[in-house]
Every structure is written in structure tokens, then in C-alpha cells.
Amino acid sequence: MSEHKDFLRTIVEKDLDSGKYKNIITRFPPEPNGFPHIGHAKSIAINFGIARDYNGHCNLRMDDTNPTTEDTKYVEALKDAVQWLGFEWKGDVRYTSDYFDKLYEWAQELVKMGKAYVDSLDEETMREYRGTITEPGKRSKYAERSVEENLDLLERMKNGEFKDGEHVLRAKIDMSAPNMKMRDPLMYRIRHAHHYRAGDKWAIYPMYDFGHCLSDYIEGVTHSICTLEFENNRDIYDWVINTLGLEPPRPYQHEFARLGINYTVMSKRKLLELVNEKYVNGWDDPRLPTIAGLRRRGYTPESILNFCESIGIAKANSTVDVAQLEFAIRDDLNTKVPRVMCVLEPLKVTIENYEGTEEFDAPYYPEDIPKEGTRAVPFSKEIYIERDDFSENPPKGYNRLTPDQAVRLRSAYIITCKEIIKDANGEITEIIAEYNPDSKSGSDTTGIKVKSAIQWVDAASSKKIEVRVYDRLYSCENPDGLEDLNPDSLKVIRDALIEPAVITDKPDERFQFERQGYFYADPIDYTDKNPVFNKIVGLKDSWGKKDKPKETRTERKPQEKKVQIDGEVEPMTESEQALFEKYTGKFKLNSMVADILARDEKLSSFYADALAVNNSPVSIANLVANEVARELKEKEISDLKFNASQIAELVKMVDDETISSKIAKEVFEEMSKSGDNPAKIVEDKGLVQISDPAVIEPIIDDIIAKNQDNVEKFKAGNTKLLGFFVGQTLKATGGKANPQVVNQLVAQKLK
């Protein structure tokens, strides 16, 4: 366990040290109404991880209280996800339905205590009676029913004598409570539906707020860890346990920030829509953020757990860049998988002066990977290369095969182009080439210098494969609906060619196809006769330029990123490694940002200059590695409109809360065009951050008054709408309001 403890582990240690608990028991309690996704992976890692770290145990419990949406296939998917991630639960899988009899007894006890009653109001009236944020609610007239009448009605509800919605059981708490969750919350509702485990025994089912806390108590759970959306439910959690007078030790609820990732939806409703309407090919479609989908795509358990660890455990919701998840799988596979040659868009090359056949002994791993293994790569006069590894009219900086430029075939010979053959449409169909017999890799005596080596496969022995190239399912950062789907999220290549050892020797199930990315043998559709590979992830983030005109590989300048010709990240030099260790150690940068800065001399120099002016290493690093790096892709430092001192000044204004991070991006864009100092831009445009509650509160009040429908939905439990009100406030202030102040004020006013 890391020496740096998150706030949840700090709570656990305090409870152990004080003697509050002798043993730590946690639980992972999903509702079995869909396949688990990457957000569940974070919860699994937290609950099982804390239990492991403190020699306790974690229960796997299905919160199966809604028979209309639950299914055994979801139960199996949840069990499989936990085990695949490397965790084991204590004893058998548990189910809330195991406790239905005991929960019902406790409900009867609350009725006898005068703390619960059967309500017969219709749903609309019940909502109206709840009141508003500023006005107390009104208790139902049915709350005056006698204990005997309530017990009789509750029993008849259980026995199925009433229709769905005709009655509910409510706790009798406080209709004027500031926390609207406490205004006589529902405890049981009627559901005439077959339960996948309980059968038709029950016609009523407990609500989450009643069943969850008591299930925790039954199991001896000490720390009931859940996401922030249940923060207001904590009062009900405590009320139920305290009112029933349950003997200690008892559980307590603690909340953490749920996982949000850009370009991704994790709403079960939206995922179910994608599956049911066949926008994707089932719950394990590799484009989905489900654990089954990530697993089929080729993600490893280690990469997902490393990702969860890297993002940490926070108390405030935020959105994580999906590039961080993609970095985690690259980082994991880089030291694990063999490198092989595959041609996705084959172009035939005939080597006219070569006769016969031979084999080259090629390593599976580069020198900096401490793994051994080689394979025989067949070679003959007819081979295939990647179509864009040849250019008849190459742009400046193109380093591969051209009519005037030789190239090395990876692990083989140097070839030169002699003739270009085209079809009637002018499409290149074949290259006639010549090889140098003295240029064999490893024993080259020619002294010929070439700028690159390219992958290739032998025409006679290569194997045809199907390659499924997956991209992000959504085309925008914050997707909302089906209109945001990326139409190019899947491309199927049916005539790709791969070297034979991959199919015949099967050295692994995951591979790096050189210069293409990481790929995985599809666990369902792959056969020896028809091999199918899924693209896990590219060798680098391809979305950094999505907002710019699409570039072909031949148009990229060689200085954009230090990458070897086979696509593997070039090992760091000693000086780069020293910088990387300094950045991640002393400066506390994350490894991805540190890697970007350490490998690029221009960026590291610019970073050092900015840091000399303002000692804010993390904030400056993030700005330099993203915004400044984008500018330097096409320019030299001397061509920039701004300098390092101005960047340092911009970061200081964010650190001092003079401007927000969002405004900082706007200021940077103006700096890159005009070269003006950030302070001048902020003053001229009136962009100073607003942090005074007296200024912000009237704006929030106006937004709340104009959006009463959303206020009601928020009161009804849709806590996601907190973000709506925050967003509207920021929008109304042109992004100038301090987000932290806005969050606090909105939360206070909506309570």
C-alpha cells in the first residue's frame, strides 16, 4: 500500500486505532440490471482494495430489489468482472433478496413504533406535497392511520391485494427537513413482477434507502463506501439504523467521487439503449466502457487497476481524460507483448533481382525489454508493404520508400524502387524493386545510409487476417445522446496480412503490430482458419489533432515525436531519463506529462524557463505539455508570439485565483495570436474571476427561479442536476465565476 493514504483509508485507520471496529468489512453492492463498466471497476478496486490492505474482507452483494430490471446474466457479469480484476469475495455471493423476510420484520417494527405509515396519495400529489427547497412539505392525511390499519394494509400489500402504485410504505420523519430526502422517504413499493430469485413470493420490494443500510448491518459491514450521488441519502441511512435501535457495531456511509471520463457515457440507461437498439454489438462490444467490452478489446486487469490507482480517490466529482486510460494500457503492454509485422493495406513489391527463399531470425522484443524470444520470418522475391510506406511524390520529410529513396525492410535487406505499375485508374498496384545482397540486416557491409525501416510480409507465407480498428464511440468530449455517436468508431479490414509465426506459433494473444498499435486476438471470433484481431489502442493518442485537418502519415514532420521507425517509443537517453525522474520525483508530475516534457528538448527548455519565474511545477507542466506543445509542433520557440515568462505569469494568475482555468485557456489563445501579456488581456477583456458570493448568489437565485422543473427533479433524487445549475451559473458569468465558490453556493441553495 502506498505511503500516501487517501481520505477513505485515513478514516479506516482512525476507526481501527480508536477501537471502533476490530475487523474491517466492506462490500461491493451493485444492482444486477446491466453489465459493470469502468466506473464499477473503480468501486471494486476501492472496496476490495481497502479490505485487503487492512486484513479484512469484502462481500459481493447483489442489490436485487427491482424485479422488473434484473437478470441472472447481469449477476454473472458482475461476478466475472470482480474475479477478472483479481479479487475474491468472502463466502458466497450475497443478495439483498436473502434478507427480504428480515427487512419486512423491521418495516413492521417501524410501523409499530409510529415511525412508518402506508400512504395512498397518487404520485403527482405526493411530489407536490414534498415542498420546495425554500418551503416545507405537507404530510399526507394518510399518516394519521392507526398502527393496526397500517400493519393490515402493509400485510395486504405484501400479499398482492393492491395494484402497482396504489399504496407505498413511507418513513415518518420530517416534512420540513432541509434535506428533502428526509421528507418521509419511501421504504416499500408494490411491484407485481416475478423476481429472478424470490419467485412470486413478494408483491412489495424495499427501496434502496431502506434495504441497503440494513443489509450492510446484517453482514457486519463497517464502512459502506458509495459515490457522491448518495451523499444526501446518508441521513436516511443513519435514521433507519438509529431509529430501530440496532446494537453496535453498526456501519457508517462514506462517499467518494464517481468516475467520469470524456468521450464516454456510463449511464446504465444509455448503455442499455445502445445495446438494445443495436448501435453496438452487445454488452461486450469493444467500444463500450463495460468491463466485458474493455476485456474483449484487449485491456488487461493490470492496466485498469493501474488507471484506477492513478486517478486517485477524490471527494469532488471531475472528468478524467480518456487518454489517461489509453496511456495505462500502452504502459502495461509496452513491456509485455511481442512485436510483429502486419500490413493493413498491402501493396505488392516484386524484387526482380532476388531468387529463392530464406528466413530471417527476428527478435520479438526490442533491446530495452528484458524478455527473450525470436521467430523465423520467411522472405522471397514477392512481398507486401504498407501502402502508405511508398510515395510517388513524397512531401518534405518523408523517410520511407520513394522512386529516389531507398529503404530497409525490417530485419532484412535494403531495397530501391525501379518501376511503378498502375491500373487503368492510375492506382498503384505494384512496385518493381531491387535489393542489395550485401545489405542484410546484422551483416550489412554496404555503408548505405537509409532514413527508415518499414514492416513487410512475405507474399507466399503470410496469413490473411481480419482486423477490427476501434475508435472512440463518441465524437465529442461530453456526449449526451445518440446524435453524438462517432460514425467512424469501427473500421473492419478483411484483407490484412501478417507474418506466419503469429498464427502458427501463437507466441501470445496480444501483440504490437509495428508502427500500427497494440492488437488482441478476439476471444470469441478468432479461429485458426479465420484469425480476427481487435485494435486495443494506437501507439500514441491520435485525437490530439482531431480538431485540425486530418493529416496523412506521410505529412507528419519527423520532429513531432521521438518514435522509432518500428513504432516503439525510443528508449530515453541518460539525460532524458534524469529529467523524467526529476519531474516525477521532485516536481510530482504524472508520468505521462513527465514523459512528454523529458523527451522533447524544446518543451523541457521552455518548461525550465517558465519554472524559473514561477515555482508552480505541476500547473506549468500541464500548460506546457498541452497548450504550448501544440504551438511548438509547427514552430520553433523563437517563432512563438509569447515567451516562458508570460506562461509563468498566466499560471500565477490561475494559482492566485485571479482567473479560472477555463478563462486561462481563452487568455492563452489570445496570447498565441497577439503576444500580449496575460494581465493586459485579462484587464482589457474584463476576465477577472468572480469569487464574491454577494455577486454570484443573485445569479444562482435567478437560475433556480427559472428552472423549477429541474429543481423538482433534483429534490426527487436526480443529484446530477447539480452540475446543470453550476454550468448555467458559469455560463451566465461568461466563465468568470470561481467554480469552487459556485459549487458550494449551488449545493447550499439546493439543500
Q: What is the pLDDT of residues 524-559, one digit of tens each?
A: 999 999 999 999 999 976 555 444 433 333 333 333
Sheet with 414-422, side-by-side order of all strands: 453-454, 407-409, 414-422, 428-435, 346-351, 382-386, 456-458
Task: Give percent of the chain with pLDDT exceeding 70.
Answer: 94
One domain, residues 84 and 226: yes
**727: domain CATH number?**
1.10.10.410
Strand runs labelled E in 341-435: 342-343, 346-351, 358-363, 374-379, 382-386, 407-409, 414-422, 428-435
The band of 575, judged by pLDDT with boundaries at 50, 70 and 90, is confident
Task: Estimate to the nearest angstrom the gap between the alpha carbon of 684 and the chain centroid.
Answer: 39
Residue 661 belongs to some domain of the structure: yes
My answer on whether omega of the bond before 370 falls inside 30° of 0, hence cis, is: no
**221: domain CATH number?**
3.40.50.620
Catalytic residue check, 440: no
Q: Which of 300, 310, 389 is nearest to 349 (CA)?
A: 389
pLDDT in tens, 36-64: 999 999 999 999 999 999 999 999 999 99
In angstroms, the CA 81 to CA 40 distance is: 9
DSSP code for 668: H
Residue 26 belongs to some domain of the structure: yes
One domain, residues 23 and 76: yes
Backbone φ and ψ of 656, nearest 5°: -80, 0
With cell 416545507, the residue in question is: 136
One domain, residues 352 and 447: yes
pLDDT confidence of residue 591: 65
On the question of pLDDT at 719 being above 60, the answer is: yes
One domain, residues 601 and 663: yes
Residue 559 belongs to some domain of the structure: no
| Lowest model confidence (mean pLDDT) among 244-248, 506-510, 636-640 | 636-640
The band of 571, judged by pLDDT with boundaries at 50, 70 and 90, is low
**147: domain CATH number?**
3.90.800.10
Residue 556 belongs to some domain of the structure: no
One domain, residues 329 and 476: yes
One domain, residues 70 and 152: no
Residue 106 belongs to some domain of the structure: no
Catalytic residue check, 576: no
One domain, residues 416 and 475: no
Q: Nearest 5°: CA angle at 211, between 210 and 214?
A: 95
pLDDT confidence of residue 480: 83
pLDDT confidence of residue 720: 55
On the question of pLDDT at 1 being above 60, the answer is: no
- Structural domain count, the chain: 6
One domain, residues 225 and 275: no
Name 341's Cβ contacts closer than 8 Å, sequence gap at least 6. 377, 410, 455, 456, 457, 498, 499, 513, 514
In angstroms, the CA 63 to CA 724 distance is: 29
In angstroms, the CA 364 to CA 349 distance is: 24
Q: What is the DSSP string of 135-146?
A: S-----GGGG--
pLDDT confidence of residue 625: 85
**313: domain CATH number?**
1.10.1160.10
Cell numbers representing residue 601 in the block: 528538448
One domain, residues 482 and 527: yes
**374: domain CATH number?**
2.40.240.10
- List b or e across 624-633, with b for residues whose CB sees 16 or more CB atoms inside 10 angstroms: bbebbbebbe
Residue 368 belongs to some domain of the structure: yes
Catalytic residue check, 268: yes
Which is the catalytic residue, given 268, 440, 463, 602? 268
One domain, residues 486 and 450: no
Name 344's Cβ contacts closer than 8 Å, sequence gap at least 6. 386, 467, 493, 496, 513, 516
One-letter identity of residue 135: E
Cell numbers representing residue 162 in the block: 393492491
Residue 662 belongs to some domain of the structure: yes
Over the chain, what is the mean pLDDT?
Answer: 90
Which is the catalytic residue, given 5, 13, 31, 749? 31
pLDDT in tens, 576-626: 878 888 888 888 887 667 878 888 888 999 999 999 999 999 889 988 987
In angstroms, the CA 14 to CA 234 distance is: 20
One domain, residues 87 and 31: yes
Domain boundary among 667, 685, 703: 685
Which is the catalytic residue, given 139, 158, 172, 258? 258
- pTM, full prediction: 0.72
One domain, residues 88 and 224: yes
Range of the domain at 136: 113-206
On the question of pLDDT at 734 being above 90, the answer is: no
On the question of pLDDT at 438 being above 80, the answer is: yes
In angstroms, the CA 359 to CA 378 distance is: 4
CB count within 10 Å of CB 341 equals 28
- Determine the average pLDDT of the residues in 422-432: 96
pLDDT confidence of residue 542: 58
